[in-house]
Chains A and B, each alone.
Chain A
Amino acid sequence: MEEVIFEARNLTKKYRNTLALDHINLSLRRGEVYGFIGENGAGKTTAIRLITGLSFPTEGSMALFGKSGTKELQRQRARIGCMVETPALYKNMTAVQNLEAQRIQRGIPDRDGIGKTLKLVGLSDTGKKAVRHFSLGMRQRLGIAMALLNDPEFMILDEPINGLDPSGIVETRELIRQLNQERGITFLVSSHILSELYQTATRYILLHKGRVLEELTQRELDEKCRRHIAIKTNDAAQTAITLESDLHTTNFQVMPDGVVRLYDHLDNMEEVAQALSRAGLLVTGLSLAGDSLENYFLHKIGGR
């Protein structure tokens, strides 16, 4: 059985009159890269703040690495690495000094880890330059390095590619993949750039107005986003028979809501319509569907 490293039950956060998180249930499994998707104000950062202990839930419970309760959660947070919103850095210090402060605080005995981590994020040649003179991208990389230093089992990255140039984006993506595959680190990555998340995540959590809209795997998402002809008739079973006998295809799926998804004949909808008509079926819907992650998300939240 896959180990659940974080679990939330009915997690709720209310700020005066705003319900930032509304009874969300989450189970994050070890070894996955979770894409945390949601509009501004959907509750992504609020959820991250609750996990990292920056904020307290109004209702509900959490468990980290199977442990719950205030004291245990506090202890287990030492196994997390995180970057919430913008990187939290000591601006008057250099990159090495920032990591050294983090190393001391975390009680990491290996000083060599600093050089290795800086090399990993491409900041090994910043010398005596104070962080306040770093570009946004460099700060972002250093934020990731700070989160990585303690060799965490679970990494939470809130908008990690903000401010990065195209090569930085690719490097961050590769770094997440590499750390996930080689070290088995579980990631929770929130980003507005959904096409980027699509290339990194193995599972997706769609958050909207403080609620979890959907949780799905990469495969499920691919399935949902796959281009197809959505056919709605008065008889799904007969539709399937017609497609097999008249159009000689089995490349379709009958969905629980009775919609039949046909994955070929995409350029020939007319022929499909004629076949269904010949079989005496009442066609109430016939359209091309399947989208990018962006469009799928917009469709889910009712934006398009």
Chain B
Amino acid sequence: MGKLLHAEWYKLLHDKNFGALSIAVVLFNMIMLSGTSVWDLSGQSALTESMKKEIATVLLACIYGGISLGSDFADRTMYHGLLTGRSRSSVLIAKAIVFTAAANFLLFLFPFLLTLFCSLKNGWGKAISTGHLLHGTGVAGSLLLLGCAISALPLLSAVCFRDIGRTIGIPVVLYFVMVLLLNSSHAAAWSKILPIGLLILTADGTVPPAYGILAGALWFAWLTAISAFVFRRAELR
């Protein structure tokens, strides 16, 4: 498993698409926030504001899923893993761990940079106590788990459809469906169920971090388990 993880990590570091998308995410968010006063906010307020704009970044993370996971199936590079003597589950788990880390990096790169920038420039905005630190750690943990849940959708799509087009297309369609639901008359209810909605609610403190952690973990575990189940039985090209 360690070798599979190491190889996946190596591939990620040498993936030019990942580097290009990381730059694109930062530029995209900077353009979205240009002309606003977000740069003058405190670190804490900047984090909340940037999470509200995170929905657009999710789309880029979905596209990365298609490029990364979809091409592994389309180019049939997946079979190199199968010929290492490891089980299909190990191959998928190694891929899922590194992909999830990469997707989370894309999702939280800009909020992290903005929060860091605003904290250094304008301060955090509140006195930092042990309670605040604990709460902040909880929020960060829940955001990461919700990020994992979001990235598990392209993983499931890649495993089910095994090509680039549908691995990008299906999560993007589902993404727009989720955005529609979050703008519907039942938005309040949906936002407490869907990971994208919870991302914002956890960041602005509407829901407690524990709720975000629980929901994120459930979504992630459920989607990854289905992916593993499908992949173990999948006929590969």
Contact = CB atoms under 8 A, between A and B. Distances in A.
Interface of A: 49, 52-56, 74-78, 80-82, 84-86, 88-93, 97, 100-102, 104-107, 146
Nearest to B6: A104
A78 B11 contact: no
Interface in B58-105: 71, 75-87
Given A54-B236, A93-B14, A105 B75 contact: no
A175 B2 CA distance: 33
A245 B11 CA distance: 76
A52 B79 contact: yes
B75 A54 contact: no
22 contacts: A49-B235, A53-B79, A54-B237, A74-B85, A74-B87, A76-B85, A77-B83, A88-B79, A89-B77, A92-B14, A92-B16, A93-B14, A100-B10, A101-B11, A102-B7, A104-B6, A105-B3, A105-B4, A105-B7, A106-B3, A106-B84, A107-B84
B15 interface: yes
B86 A74 contact: yes
A90 B83 contact: no
A78 B80 CA distance: 10
A274 B237 CA distance: 60
B235 A53 contact: no
B184 interface: no
B85 A89 contact: no
B17 interface: yes
B235 A54 contact: yes
A293 B7 CA distance: 43
Interface residues of B, number: 28
A91 B14 CA distance: 11
A54 B81 CA distance: 11
Nearest to B91: A105
Nearest to B83: A77
Contacts of A84: 76, 79
Contacts of A90: 11, 14, 75, 77
B17 A88 contact: no
The 7 closest A-B pairs by CB, nearest first: A78-B85, A105-B7, A54-B236, A88-B76, A104-B7, A107-B3, A75-B85
A53 B11 contact: no
A193 B190 CA distance: 60
Contacts of A104: 3, 6-7, 10
Given A92-B17, A106-B3, A52 B83 contact: yes
B199 to A, nearest CB: 30
Nearest to A88: B76
B127 to A, nearest CB: 47
A54 B11 contact: no
A55 B87 contact: no
Nearest to B236: A54
A209 B14 CA distance: 43
A101 B75 contact: no
A77 B82 contact: yes
A24 B191 CA distance: 56
A156 B15 CA distance: 28
Given A88-B75, A101-B7, A52 B82 contact: yes
Contacts of B236: 49, 54-55
Given A78-B85, A89-B75, 15 more contacts: A52-B79, A54-B82, A55-B235, A56-B235, A82-B83, A84-B76, A84-B79, A85-B76, A93-B14, A101-B14, A101-B80, A102-B80, A105-B80, A106-B84, A107-B3
A151 B17 CA distance: 31
